[in-house]
């Protein structure tokens, strides 16, 4: 009896020690992630805001493609419409920031729902073509609607005094990212998340199980558009000027690639890959310029070519060796931190 009691006590102490160690590791990682914001000045505050916005976009694509298995190559339309809606509310109507972000999120959700209703009967390649066509059409029509977007001059999106500084706005972006991350986690752990997983695996089997496939696919489009529009609203106030050239197809393609490299259905992988893709074109030139020895082929043209080249190389490595993306590499660590969780 005494031996059993001692064994139980040791197990209890070991569990408490493991929990404390995991909490300490998480806190250390949070402090490490916060150092650029605390010590990096306004430049790094701007970069962190951009990284958080990209992470929200990555999570929105992950909701549609990772959770529901629906492909989108026109995500720039949802983000762009959200950005222009937020800018319109701020510059034309003088609405507070919260109303502008809400308008951007609702505009993105409504647009995605319309695309979803059109694309409900198609899957795979045909769905990708529908979303691609819509994104390209939005670039040449909606984004050039002068009354809404300001035409070539763009739309202004001034920040309110509360978040006028880059540090304050970075904290806002990180706060919104935390909310989107929590919503994504809750979605997966609910009945709706399990239904989306069934739709992703096989729509016909999901239908035989009584799941409303059409409704859940439309819900996935809407939720994805909601997060994308919210990210667009943040982007508008981050840049403070929104133009149609900010939302071209090349940008949408980068967003899809960063989600794939991060790992579909891996929240941590998507966030880290999105942050990397957001910061790569901003930090790579400075890093190369600071090298003690400058290769003769390095010039301004190479600086512009290297980021896309690195993206392609990363994609090929992921497709060949790590089909689960960065999330596959991080899964052992995340399982330990969450004590058996898979995210």
What pLDDT sits at residue 342? 43
9 in any annotated domain: no
For residue 314, the model assigns a pLDDT of 84
Whichever domain contains 175, its CATH number is 1.10.3470
> Domain limits at 139?
16-339
Domain membership flag for residue 6: no
Question: CA-CA distance, 187 to 183, in Å (whole number)?
Answer: 6
| Cα dihedral sign, 155-161-162-166 | positive
What's residue 294's pLDDT? 66
In a 3-state reduction of DSSP, which class is residue 264?
A: coil
Residue 311 lies in a domain: yes
Q: Considering the domain boundaries, does residue 4 fall inside one? A: no
How is residue 160 annotated by DSSP? P
Q: Which two tokens stand for residue 125?
A: 């390649």
Total domain count for the chain?
A: 1
d(CA 286, CA 198): 46
Other CB atoms within a 10 A radius of the CB of residue 194 amount to 12
Residue 74 lies in a domain: yes
Please report where in the chains the tokens 């489009």 appear, as a residue.
221
Give the pair of three-digit tokens for residue 150.
């300001």
pLDDT in tens, the chain (343 residues): 555 555 655 666 666 666 676 667 666 766 666 667 666 678 888 999 999 999 999 999 999 999 988 888 889 999 999 999 999 999 888 889 999 999 999 999 999 999 988 877 777 778 888 899 999 998 888 888 888 887 777 889 999 888 888 889 999 999 999 999 999 989 988 888 899 899 888 888 888 888 888 888 999 999 999 999 999 999 999 999 998 888 988 888 889 999 999 988 888 889 999 999 999 888 877 777 666 766 666 666 666 677 778 888 888 888 888 888 888 887 877 777 666 444 4
Residue 2: the pLDDT is 55
- The answer to the question of residue 5 being in a domain is no
Token pair 């309110």 is found at: 160
> What is the model's pLDDT at position 143?
86
The CA-to-CA distance between both ends of the chain, in Å, stands at 40
The CA distances from residue 176 to 56, 59, 172, 254, 273, in Å, are: 8, 12, 6, 22, 18
Residue 147 lies in a domain: yes
Q: What whole-number distance in Å separates Cα of residue 175 and Cα of residue 52?
A: 9
177 part of a folded domain: yes
């Amino acid at each position: 009896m005494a031996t059993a009691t001692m064994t139980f006590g040791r197990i209890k102490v070991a569990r408490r020690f493991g929990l404390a160690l995991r909490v300490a590791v998480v806190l250390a990682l949070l402090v490490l992630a916060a150092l650029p914001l605390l010590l990096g000045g306004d430049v790094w505050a701007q970069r962190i805001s951009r990284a958080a916005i990209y992470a929200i976009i990555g999570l929105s694509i992950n909701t549609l493609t990772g959770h529901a298995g629906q492909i989108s190559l026109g995500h720039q339309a949802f983000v762009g419409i959200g950005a222009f809606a937020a800018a319109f509310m701020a510059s034309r109507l003088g609405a507070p920031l919260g109303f502008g972000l809400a308008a951007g999120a609702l505009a993105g959700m409504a647009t995605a729902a319309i695309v979803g209703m059109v694309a409900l009967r198609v899957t795979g390649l045909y769905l990708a073509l529908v979303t691609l066509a819509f994104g390209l059409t939005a670039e040449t029509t909606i984004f050039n609607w002068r009354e809404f977007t300001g035409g070539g001059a763009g739309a202004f999106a001034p920040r309110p005094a509360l978040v006028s500084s880059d540090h304050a706005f970075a904290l806002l972006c990180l706060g919104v990212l935390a909310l989107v991350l929590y919503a994504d986690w809750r979605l997966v752990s609910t009945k709706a998340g399990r239904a989306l997983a069934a739709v992703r695996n096989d729509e016909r089997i999901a239908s035989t199980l009584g799941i409303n496939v059409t409704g859940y696919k439309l819900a996935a489009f809407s939720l994805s558009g909601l997060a994308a529009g919210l990210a667009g609203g943040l982007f508008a106030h981050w840049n403070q000027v929104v133009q149609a050239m900010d939302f071209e197809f090349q940008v949408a393609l980068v967003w899809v690639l960063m989600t794939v490299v991060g790992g579909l259905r891996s929240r941590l992988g998507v966030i880290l890959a999105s942050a990397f893709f957001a910061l790569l074109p901003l930090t790579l030139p400075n890093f190369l310029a600071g090298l003690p020895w400058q290769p003769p082929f390095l010039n301004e043209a190479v600086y512009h070519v290297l980021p896309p080249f690195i993206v392609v190389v990363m994609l090929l490595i992921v497709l060949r060796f790590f089909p689960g993306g960065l999330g596959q590499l991080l899964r052992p660590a995340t399982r330990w931190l969450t004590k058996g969780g898979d995210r």
